[in-house]
Amino acid sequence: MIRACPHCGVENRIPARHLAHRGRCGNCKRDLAPLSEPLSVGSEEFDDITRNATVPVLVDFWASWCGPCRMVAPEVKRAAEDLAGKAIVLKVDTEAHPDLAQRYNVQSIPNFVVLAMGNVVRQQAGAVNRQVMRQWIEEST
């Protein structure tokens, strides 16, 4: 994954297994905080992250036309901030990546999946708040 340094703007390549860790910019040597925002991914990035992550992964399956998905998006963003260093939060657009939705038998959205070591530990359809998302992650560790 490529992440821009918030201090100098230089792009840094971060392996999926280190997205939840504190790192250091290759250019300015300042700290790079753990990923603290939802990451929109396609199939290749999804597989890399879920296969190599050292922390649980919370996946939000959504679509732009879905009202409840748009309503829950701020909660997903806040959950990613709350869970920085403890989990990775991914967003999968089911319209753009129907293969991933089919792989997880997503039939209604929003749909949340928690993966640990690449295995599904929880899946739930419907809007939830960030406290529930945090609880799912705590229960999966």
When pLDDT is averaged across residues 35-58 and rounded to a whole number, the result is 96
| Whole-number average pLDDT of the chain | 96
The confidence band for 108, taking pLDDT boundaries of 50, 70 and 90, is very high
The answer to whether 71 and 23 have CB atoms below 8 angstroms apart is no
State the CB neighbour count (10 A cutoff) for residue 106: 21
The answer to whether 68 and 60 have CB atoms below 8 angstroms apart is no
Instruction: Give the alpha-carbon dihedral of 16, 32, 137, 41, to 10 degrees.
Output: -40
**Domain locations in the chain as residue ranges:** 36-140
pLDDT (tens digit, 9 = 90+) per residue, 12-23?
999 999 999 999
Q: Please give the share of the chain, as a percent, with pLDDT higher than 90.
A: 98
The answer to whether 111 and 58 have CB atoms below 8 angstroms apart is no
Q: How far apart are alpha carbons 6 and 108 in whole angstroms?
A: 36
pLDDT of residue 101: 97
Task: Select 36-140's CATH number: 3.60.70.12, 2.40.50.140, 3.30.360.10, 3.40.30.10.
Answer: 3.40.30.10
**Using N-to-C axis directions, what is the helix angle for 130-140 and 67-82, rounded to 10°?**
50
Q: How far apart are alpha carbons 58 and 136 in whole angstroms?
A: 9
Give yes or no for residue 141 having a pLDDT over 90: no
Residue positions annotated with a catalytic role: 66, 69
